[in-house]
């Protein structure tokens, strides 16, 4: 072969390589991941998310993962709506909480067929957590990723001062009263203990005839930053929306719970009202961190906001009280990733989803502040928190609480049509209950009114 002929052959080979390489790249299935409906838009989180994308793409050669991060949580809903309306929906969305996903409730894919087809092992999760994402008709709209069970945070120093035993740290453990009797750890017991732990400026507790509710310096209990439906669900979880009939109803147990709360704030005074709660003396809205609150029933993510407690007081975990039905029910905040119904690459997206729920956890969980649903990753989260709060917090309480998770239809953020407006109306009721004049409300009349107005919101959706 002549030198000229050899040169031609080599040039053809180079051109063939240039043509084949892009074609091979185009053979990859592209999966888009949308971030912004929940957490994930700050600089540190974006760095971690980009790392996950790079790691996934390097781990295989069949799927190209592309990320689309909204500029902010405020702009994300409009951007997502635009993508869906324009025929370019993302394949994966998240992390997003139960409430955050409700504004697009009709967009989420049932994962059960993909779980069945791939043999994906759901048994690695506590079964109660899987139930959080199941609908009444058997659809599976998510798989657990980050979970934040409600827990009784308590201040041992305040219990010691009052000569009281601490809240139980194990489920089914009895509480030992000051006289030595053992009683169920329920909301009645929690109320009795909280009264003793509520103290005025003269040192009188809320069980004393001399107690001054206008000069309280220490409270026994609150539901730190909880919205009304979370408080209701803590006290007694219920399914309040009948999807088939498109009707809401305030369950009788929630009426009982509301009366319990009104008495706790305005009659027995062991839960702070809005004026006390927002005062500088009680942390300007973060009462438990102020060190002047004995117990707070709130989800595990609240550890995020206790940094200033270090050096002030040591706190610990107890289990939540039993609900009105005499059983333990743990209301759990939860974030995960969802697949869209309109996504064009659902099988490939499910492959990516499995990666996000497993291999990506060590990278994503720390930046999201997420307690992992998968047990094999929980200890790393615990170790990090234990280094921050280094006095021996019983983190096992959080792990044990997962088995008592409230199912999806009773979740405190379960969906109703026109969810945002309905939620705002319930919050208005909460504002009235805890604000000035809340002690004078006719609870049943106000709940009747609330039920009627939420129903009107649903009917107008």
Q: What is the CATH number of the domain that holds 369?
A: 3.40.190.10
Q: Rounded to two decimals, what is the model's pTM?
A: 0.92
Q: How sure is the predictor about 136, in pLDDT bands with cuts at 50, 70 and 90?
A: confident
Q: How many domains does the chain have?
A: 1
In this predicted structure, which of 7-11, 119-123, 133-137, 435-439 has the lowest mean pLDDT?
7-11
Q: How much is the mean pLDDT over the chain?
A: 94
Residue 342 is assigned to a structural domain of this protein = yes
The Cα–Cα gap between 35 and 37 comes to 6
Over 90: is that where the pLDDT of 22 sits?
Answer: no
Residue 114 is assigned to a structural domain of this protein = yes
Residue 49 is assigned to a structural domain of this protein = yes
Q: Model confidence over 254-293: pLDDT tens digits?
A: 999 999 999 999 999 999 999 999 999 999 999 999 999 9
Taking alpha carbons only, the member of 129, 77, 130, 132 closest to residue 107 is 77
Which residues have a Cβ under 8 Å from the Cβ of 411 and sit 6 or more positions away? 98, 132, 233, 237, 331, 332
Residue 357 is assigned to a structural domain of this protein = yes
- Six-digit token string for 305: 């906001």
The Cα–Cα gap between 255 and 331 comes to 18
Residue 427 is assigned to a structural domain of this protein = no
Residue 128 is assigned to a structural domain of this protein = yes
- Mean pLDDT score, 372-387: 96
* pLDDT value of position 26: 60
- Mean pLDDT score, 58-82: 96
Q: Model confidence over 429-443: pLDDT tens digits?
A: 999 999 999 999 999
The Cα–Cα gap between 199 and 27 comes to 70
- Mean pLDDT score, 371-377: 97
Residue 214 is assigned to a structural domain of this protein = no
Q: Model confidence over 139-152: pLDDT tens digits?
A: 999 999 999 999 99
Q: Model confidence over 287-321: pLDDT tens digits?
A: 999 999 999 999 999 999 999 999 999 999 999 99
* pLDDT value of position 100: 95
* pLDDT value of position 24: 44
What's the domain range around 111?
27-147+334-387
């Amino acid at each position: 072969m002549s030198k000229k002929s050899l040169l031609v052959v080599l040039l053809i080979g180079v051109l063939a390589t240039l043509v084949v390489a892009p074609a091979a790249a185009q053979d990859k299935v592209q999966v888009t991941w949308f971030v912004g409906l929940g957490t994930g838009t700050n600089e540190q989180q974006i760095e971690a998310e980009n790392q996950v994308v790079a790691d996934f793409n390097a781990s295989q050669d069949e799927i190209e993962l592309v990320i689309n991060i909204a500029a902010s949580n405020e702009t994300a809903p409009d951007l997502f709506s635009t993508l869906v309306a324009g025929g370019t929906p993302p394949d994966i969305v998240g992390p997003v909480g139960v409430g955050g996903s409700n504004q697009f409730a009709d967009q989420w894919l049932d994962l059960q067929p993909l779980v069945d087809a791939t043999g994906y092992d759901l048994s690695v999760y506590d079964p109660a957590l899987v139930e959080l994402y199941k609908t009444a008709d058997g659809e599976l709209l998510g798989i657990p990723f980050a979970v934040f069970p409600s827990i009784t945070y308590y201040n041992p120093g305040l219990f010691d001062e009052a000569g009281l035993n601490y809240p139980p740290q194990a489920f089914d453990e009895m509480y030992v009263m000051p006289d030595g009797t053992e009683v169920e750890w329920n909301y009645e017991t929690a109320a009795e203990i909280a009264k003793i732990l509520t103290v005025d400026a003269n040192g009188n507790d809320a069980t004393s005839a001399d107690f001054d509710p206008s000069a309280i310096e220490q409270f026994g209990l609150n539901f730190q930053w909880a919205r009304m439906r979370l408080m209701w669900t803590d006290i007694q979880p219920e399914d309040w929306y009948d999807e088939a009939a498109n009707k809401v109803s305030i369950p009788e147990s929630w009426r009982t719970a509301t009366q319990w709360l009104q008495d706790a704030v305005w009659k027995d005074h062991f839960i702070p009202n809005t004026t006390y709660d927002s005062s500088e003396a009680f942390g300007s809205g973060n009462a438990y961190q102020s060190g002047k609150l004995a117990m707070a029933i709130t989800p595990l993510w609240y550890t995020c906001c206790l940094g200033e407690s270090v050096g002030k007081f040591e706190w610990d975990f107890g289990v939540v009280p039993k609900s009105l039905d005499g059983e333990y029910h743990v209301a759990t905040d939860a974030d995960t990733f969802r697949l869209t119904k309109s996504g064009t690459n659902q099988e490939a997206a499910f492959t990516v989803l499995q990666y996000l729920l497993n291999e990506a956890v060590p990278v994503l969980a720390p930046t999201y502040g997420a307690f992992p649903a998968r047990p094999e990753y929980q200890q790393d989260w615990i170790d990090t928190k234990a280094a921050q709060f280094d006095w021996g917090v019983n983190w096992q309480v959080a792990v044990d609480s997962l088995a008592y998770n409230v199912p999806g239809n009773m979740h405190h953020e379960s969906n109703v049509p026109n969810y945002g407006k309905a939620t705002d109306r319930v919050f208005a009721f909460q504002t009235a209950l805890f604000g000035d004049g809340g002690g004078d409300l006719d609870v049943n009349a106000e709940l009747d009114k609330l039920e009627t107005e939420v129903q009107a919101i649903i009917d107008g959706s």
